[in-house]
Amino acid sequence: MAKQVLKNHDLAFSTRFIPDALQAHNYCKFSAAWLPVCPQWRMLRKVLNTKPLSTNRLDANQHLRSQKAKQLIDYCEKCSQQGKGVDVEILGQPEIMKKVQVELAEVVGKGKPIEEVDVSRLPYLQFIIKETLRLHPPAPFLIPRRVDQDVELCDYIIPKGSLVLVNAWAIGRDPSFWDDALVFKPERFQSLELDMRGKDFEMIPFGAGRRTCPVFPLALRLMPAILGSMLNSFNWKLEACIEPKDLDMEEKFGVILGKAHPLQAIPSPL
C-alpha cells in the first residue's frame, strides 16, 4: 500500500497536511518540507539538491562535521553524564556494542574519531544504523499528506481533503517480511540488501517519491560517523540501577519519535 501512495500515485498524494502551528506565522509557505508541489517547491528542492546537499558540497564540508563530532566527544569526556547520540538498542545488548567496537578498532584504530570516508569499511556499523532506523524511524508516520481531489486506490475512493498517514514504524516491524521483527538484530542485513532512500518499500525511514526527506544524504553521512566516533571513544553503560535486560524501550509517538521515559547513558574511557 505504501508503494501505491508513494510511487504509483505519488503526485496525487504529494500535498502536505499542514499543522496549525506551522500556519500561524506562514512558515509553511516558505519551506520545501511543507509547500505543495508547485514552481516554488521545485525551485527550493533544486537549490537544496545542487547547493548545500549536493555530493560535492557535502564532500567539501566534511571537515566541519568532523570538528563537531570531536566537540561532542570532548563534551562527553567533560561531563560523563549523558550520551544522547548513543544507540539505545546497543545499550540493551552489550555483545553488539562489543562487536562493533572490535570492528572500529581493527579498521580505524581504537580511540580515533570516525571520518565519513571510513564508513564504507565498517559494515557492522552500517548494519546497526539500518536496524535502528528499521525499528525506530525518526518520523513514524512520515510527514502527513492530504489529497486535493478524490483518488481511487486499490478499489477504494480516498475522498478529497483526507489526511493520509504512511506508517513507516509498522512497515519496519511487519512480520510477513522481517524475521524476528521485534528483535534488534543488525546481522540480518548481512544477507539483506535494502535501499533506505525510498527504492525498497519494506523500509522507508526517509519516505519515498518526490517528497522524500531532502536532507537524507546528510543524515546518512552523519549517523554512522557520530555513532561510530562515540562508540570508538568510550564504553557506554546504563545507570547503575538498570540492567540491560530491564531497559525500557517504550516510545512516545508524535511527528518525531522519541523515548517515553528519558534515559541516561554513562560514558567511560576505553
CA dist., res. 77 & res. 133, Å (int): 27
Which residues neighbour 192 within 8 Å (Cβ) at sequence distance 6 or greater?
none
Q: Consult the annotation and say whether 213 binds a ligand.
A: yes
Angle at 205 between CA 41 and CA 148, to 5 degrees: 40
Strand pairing report for 163-164 and 145-146: antiparallel
Output the nine-digit C-alpha cell for 145.
499528506
Under DSSP, the state recorded for 207 is: -
**3-class SS shares of the chain: helix, strand, coil, % to 5:** 45, 10, 45
Output the nine-digit C-alpha cell for 210.
518526490
Q: Establish how many alpha carbons lie within 13 A of residue 186's alpha carbon, considering only the half-sphere containing its beta carbon.
A: 19
Annotated binding site: 213
Annotated binding site for heme: 213
